[in-house]
Chains A and B, each alone.
Chain A
Amino acid sequence: MKKPVVKVDFQDESPKNGKFKSRRRFIKLGGLAFAGSSFLMYSCSEDDDFNPAGQEPDPMEPEEPEEPEEPEEPEEPAAFDLGSGNIGVFNYAYALEQLEAAFYTEVVANFYSGAMDVDGVSEEETLTDIRNHEVIHREFFKTAIQGLVDNGTITQDQMLPELTFDFSGAVDFSSRQSVLETARLLEDTGVSAYNGAGSIITTPEYLLLAGKIVSVEARHASAIADLLEPNTTAFARDGVLVALREGGDPAYDKAQMPSEILPAVVGLDIIEEEFTATELP
């Protein structure tokens, strides 16, 4: 595995300062080093082919449970780690889909006033459709990961638990603008996250599944942006795309790695639980 193809700053549309959050996350990862030196090596290595044991890690092989050393503050439980390889990507996707589904569930349950129907399609119907898709994605990943637990591929404690969310500081659900801007950020982030995760996935079947979902997230991102700025370039705007060649136009979605996505998502201060991704690039 290599560095992300496109290094882009997440800050352009993020409401908070991504750099500060990145730094905070790095400090947090450093603090977890006591849990096992291999974790520290993974988290510091930009080249995740690097393998201190000299063996090809099998991402589907159940991890040997690390025996944590005595923590300095014994009352602190360790944060859940998403894991590596396919399992890590599943947990990662499950986390993002939980966030999206929870957000749209709130939106639909208490739909804002002032909706503007564009091109004859009701805005409420559009957001309800998206809510449905995200709930289906969330339940799909939950079922899929639970299936891996049930057949012994991973243990129950390697499956990301259900997360809880507090949107109160981040979203005003009575405000069309606040809801749609949050939706746009979540969808654009989802697209970039799935695009980045593609190269972490090691089996064609799982890659295809990610591909089936990411294009739907992109359809959402496009629709939400167009609700905010109808019939402009917003649906695939220069500001959210990147160029891939010198002198070229921004004509490509971002592809960011979990190490870039997660600090930005955590920075929204919506997810109540902390989790880490020390074994994902």
Chain B
Amino acid sequence: MTQEKVSLNLPRRWDSYKRKSQLRIKKIAQIIQAFRRQPRGVIGASIIAVIFVCALFSPWIAPFDPNEQDIANRFAGSSPQHLLGTDYVGRDILSRLIYGARVAAVVSIGSVGIAVLVGVPLGAVAALNGGAVDYIVILIFDVIRSFPSVIMILVLAAIVGPSLLNIILILAFTSFPAYGRVARAQTLWVKEEEYIMGAKSLGAPTGRILLSHIIPNILSPIIVLAGMDLAVMIMWESALSFLGLGVPPPTASWGIMLKQGYTYIETAPLMIIWPGIVLITTMLGFSLFAEALRIALNPRERDPDE
């Protein structure tokens, strides 16, 4: 008798899964379509794509070695040979900007990645456990967030000294509470759902509930947050390098180039203008992308005829 019941139910359940996944694919396709309808989204996505392509393929794209000095040709203006001119020791500014994308990409992806990997499980565990664990985790988050982030980052950078890995760790340290908070709030919401109760009543261990039921369901706001944070991290890397607390020279970084431009602001304006423009364009690209994504994800704003 029971055998028959199971064989009757399984296909129906399978159908509902199939139906659900079809719906989900349709929804994603709708979102992509809504995104592509907006020119700003396309512009933003292209800017971001250019940056990551530059970061990945910098040796092939850059016309010069970023550290190749040509003292005779220092402070040169734009020319067919050096499209954006040269800096105070005659290095090609365009090549240095292209290599700078590498540092920006590594720092932003690295720090956001670590922040997500630490913050999300912490927030989810806090929400699942409640009680003392929850209180302590929130306290940790609050303390880290109660420092103005600029000063926190500065002091930590001064303590551990400048290096690529250190910046990544510092930025991850100051930003993981944001992910933790979102994950915690989402988990509080999700944990009352029936499927979690179902998994619990079947005797699933907490770790399994966390990994295969809760985390996949709280991920989408975290992905949006992470996407916006990439830009913030790029900005921080430049800011720290600007102060001399970031990537050590002679590595090509937009912040270092801006700093050197600041030093020679009276003699060589090009040295400060180009990295400034690149930084602003990068930020703008991410803002445009986020804006278009927000509209595409919001069904009320998605449909222009509404």
Partners in one complex: no
Task: List residues of chain A with CB under 8 Å of any chain B CB.
Answer: none
The residues of B with any CB-CB pair to A shorter than 8 Å are none
